[in-house]
Amino acid sequence: MHRLFILFVVPLLAAAAVSTVGAPAAAHPSKPFPARIALPDGFTPEGLTIGHGTTVYVGSVLDGAVWRGDLRTGRGSVLIPGTPGTAKAGLELDRQGRLWTADFHGGGASVYDPGTGARLAHYQFTGEPGSLVNDLVITKRAVYFTDSTRPVLYVVPLGPGGRLPAPTAFRVLPLTGPGATPDAFNNGIVALPNGDLLVAQMLTGQLVRVDPRTGGSGLFDLGGYSVDRADGLVLRGRTLHVIRNLSNVIAVVRLNGPYTAGVVQREITGPQLRSPATGDLLGSALYVVNGRFDVESTPSTDYDIVRIPA
């Protein structure tokens, strides 16, 4: 019985497999995501974050505009119009779907509705000339911002359910240790699973671990590897991408168990990287925005987002 069953059924399965190859569904495979997405000429991007589905947001360090696009189609438009004299650096979405921005030389941060672009809140951290509120990371209980010219973090606490606090309900957290190194240019920031924060120092070429309660810090051991020009940090699990802008390099680092050190596994480079500023992950791809900091920004300067297998 078993032999007869096999002799009868196997040819049918083989015929079904052959007919499937020519089926209409296989003749129209899903269109791959674009490897490059053009931004408006003259946009001068810096921050990038990926939201719901394939939606991406990019901020302008020139005039504070925010562009919203689709990574699947490559199409998009300006969600938040720019205003002369303002700028936006880091961007991130919180668990409630709100869009937070580091307002760079404006000395503060803003929160927006990612659908309408309406501003929901603003926090003015400092009026000190020269301050650069550069990047941010959102945890369950607070939002932390770096200042590239001051040895501090700005902390906006979140209420129950992520409720936004009053405009003055932030604190300034002074840094001590290597996090307070003069002229280090603290830049990108991520939260480690052990509770520490990891901050990139663009000009020292170091990463530092920061205690978010005390501001105390220590060096993150990279085995002597320099992350000179480190800008954005992207962390997933134990894999850290360090985006080094003017070096045109993305260092892929494997973190150790206690999150105190890492080993550089490889460097990503190539002509598609043009002073990359920061990035974000979607599936198995890293999306990076090219800031083109090595050229003068003009109304006709082209900018883009590039897709890199991660």
Q: What is the pLDDT of residues 198-247, one digit of tens each?
A: 999 999 999 999 999 999 999 999 999 999 999 999 999 999 999 999 99
Q: Bridge partners of 170?
A: none
What pLDDT digit, counting tens, does each position of 113-135 carry?
999 999 999 999 999 999 999 99
pLDDT at position 20: 32
User: 40: which DSSP letter?
Assistant: P
* Strand 262-268 with 186-191, pairing: unpaired
pLDDT at position 19: 32
pLDDT at position 1: 45
Helix (H, G, I), strand (E, B) or coil at 8: helix
Mean pLDDT, each 10-residue run in order, the chain (310 residues)? 37 34 43 95 98 97 97 98 92 97 96 97 95 97 98 97 96 98 98 97 98 98 97 98 98 97 98 98 97 96 95
Q: How many CB atoms lie within 10 A of CB 152?
A: 21
Q: Contact 232/188 with Cβ under 8 angstroms?
A: yes
Backbone angles phi, psi at 238, to 5 degrees: -105, 10
pLDDT at position 310: 78
Nearest C-alpha neighbor of 283 from the set 12, 31, 53, 30: 53
pLDDT at position 92: 98
CA distances from 273 to 68, 112, 129, 237 (A): 21, 29, 32, 24
pLDDT at position 14: 36
Distance between CA atoms of 25 and 145, rounded to whole angstroms? 48
pLDDT at position 29: 53
pLDDT at position 2: 40
Q: Which helix (H) or strand (E) holds 4?
A: helix 2-21
Distance between CA atoms of 104 and 101, rounded to whole angstroms? 9
pLDDT at position 22: 34
pLDDT at position 23: 34
Distance between CA atoms of 231 and 90, rounded to whole angstroms? 10
